[in-house]
């Protein structure tokens, strides 16, 4: 297969933990060829096809200078996305306007015959905080609103709550307000910008002390181990980017129940890879843009997540060919 990864700049990859790198490494091990570009390199012009200035690369196996780029003249680097066997959208959040525009270019590439994973429309239809609204039976009590009084009422009911912006990532902008309501007004003003911005509020789940579990679902099936991201020190956030400690562990019965219920539904919509965030028994987020934790789970459990992903990608392409 000839694969194109739409991702952040290659020079920014931390290969010891990067899930996109793990995908690339497994794909190359199987003999597939690799190319990469950034969303800013996507283009379309009347009479043509969605194309990009791409970098043809080969992994070196070394931590420093981890890839070798084939020399190409500028004209040679321009390639139509439909000419690749698969296009993997792996740009990290935030899901901002430029990400949104990129999904429209990728959807046009699909109309021209490209095979894109995760599907661009599915990326737009499943914002990572709000996608869980479809599955309330698996969530902790949750409120989505702009209204300050609604947040105050929610706090009065549940007494210990988490507030978060809808466009946050890596634990950014998350606040906990306990029973005393200390600074609740100021936090609401910060997050909802005096009623101009929607936020999410959830009942605090004490099981965060045992970790915010990232459960990966590939091709509709759960990876048998998750990564519990455990808050450190006085932090309430378990995100690795916020200093959480990642501990791989087998899925619990509840983890598997949620993953097996949601997996086939989301896969049917074109989401080959999903990262469910589960605290205790409660689903808190559905991550679809660029789910991570491949290497941490593999290194600690021995289960090869990247191999499962490339298996699913190859199977999806075979199914696409038969169709």
Query: Is 285 an active-site residue?
Result: yes
List the catalytic residue out of 18, 110, 255, 285: 285
Instruction: Say if CB 151 and CB 201 are below 8 A apart.
Output: yes
In angstroms, rounded to a whole number, what is the distance separating the alpha carbons of residues 21 and 28? 10
In angstroms, rounded to a whole number, what is the distance separating the alpha carbons of residues 69 and 34? 10
List the catalytic residue out of 229, 239, 255, 296: 229
List the catalytic residue out of 25, 129, 203, 213: 129
Query: Is 119 an active-site residue?
Result: no
Query: Is 85 an active-site residue?
Result: no
Which token pair is 272?
């080959």
3-class DSSP assignment, residue 289? coil
Query: Is 129 an active-site residue?
Result: yes
Instruction: Say if CB 211 and CB 304 are below 8 A apart.
Output: no
List the catalytic residue out of 56, 107, 237, 296: 237
List the catalytic residue out of 118, 192, 239, 287: 287
List the catalytic residue out of 91, 119, 164, 203: 164
Q: Strand pairing of 212-218 and 221-222?
A: antiparallel
3-class DSSP assignment, residue 200? strand
Query: Is 121 an active-site residue?
Result: no
In angstroms, rounded to a whole number, what is the distance separating the alpha carbons of residues 114 and 72? 23
Which token pair is 262?
């949601």
Query: Is 214 an active-site residue?
Result: yes
Burial 129-159 (b: 16+ CB within 10 A, else e): bbbbeebeebbbebbebbebeebeebbeebe
Sign, CA torsion 173/190/146/203: positive
Q: Look-up: residue for tokens 């290497």? A: 295
Sign, CA torsion 180/185/191/195: positive
Query: Is 164 an active-site residue?
Result: yes
Query: Is 269 an active-site residue?
Result: no
List the catalytic residue out of 213, 214, 239, 255: 214
List the catalytic residue out of 26, 110, 277, 296: 277
Q: Look-up: residue for tokens 């290659």? A: 10
Report the catalytic residues: 129, 164, 214, 229, 237, 277, 285, 287
């Amino acid at each position: 297969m000839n694969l194109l990864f739409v991702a952040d700049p290659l020079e920014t990859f931390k290969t010891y933990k990067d899930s996109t790198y793990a995908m690339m490494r497994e794909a190359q091990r199987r003999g597939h060829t690799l190319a990469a570009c950034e969303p800013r390199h996507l283009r379309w012009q009347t009479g043509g096809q969605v194309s990009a200035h791409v970098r043809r690369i080969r992994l070196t196996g070394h931590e420093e200078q981890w890839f070798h780029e084939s020399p190409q003249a500028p004209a040679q680097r321009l390639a139509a996305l439909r000419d690749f066997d698969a296009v993997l959208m792996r740009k990290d959040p935030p899901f901002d306007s430029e990400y949104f525009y990129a999904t429209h270019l990728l959807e046009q590439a699909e109309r021209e015959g490209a095979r894109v994973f995760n599907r661009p429309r599915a990326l737009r239809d499943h914002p990572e905080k709000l996608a869980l609204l479809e599955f309330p039976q698996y969530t902790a009590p949750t409120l989505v609103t702009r209204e300050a009084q609604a947040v105050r009422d929610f706090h009065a009911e549940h007494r210990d709550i988490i507030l978060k912006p809808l466009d946050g990532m890596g634990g950014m902008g998350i606040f906990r307000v306990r029973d005393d309501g200390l600074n609740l007004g100021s936090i609401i003003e910060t997050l909802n910008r005096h009623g101009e911005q929607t936020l999410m509020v959830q009942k605090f789940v004490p099981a965060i002390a045992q970790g915010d579990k990232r459960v990966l679902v590939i091709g509709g099936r759960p990876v048998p181990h998750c990564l519990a991201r455990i808050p450190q020190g006085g932090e309430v956030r378990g995100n690795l980017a916020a200093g959480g400690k990642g501990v791989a562990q087998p899925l619990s019965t509840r983890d598997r129940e949620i993953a097996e219920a949601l997996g086939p539904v989301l896969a049917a919509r074109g989401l080959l890879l999903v990262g469910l965030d589960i605290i205790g028994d409660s689903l808190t987020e559905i991550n679809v843009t660029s789910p991570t934790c491949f290497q941490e789970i593999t290194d600690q459990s021995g289960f090869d997540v990247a191999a499962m992903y490339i298996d699913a990608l190859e199977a999806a392409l075979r199914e696409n060919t038969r169709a």
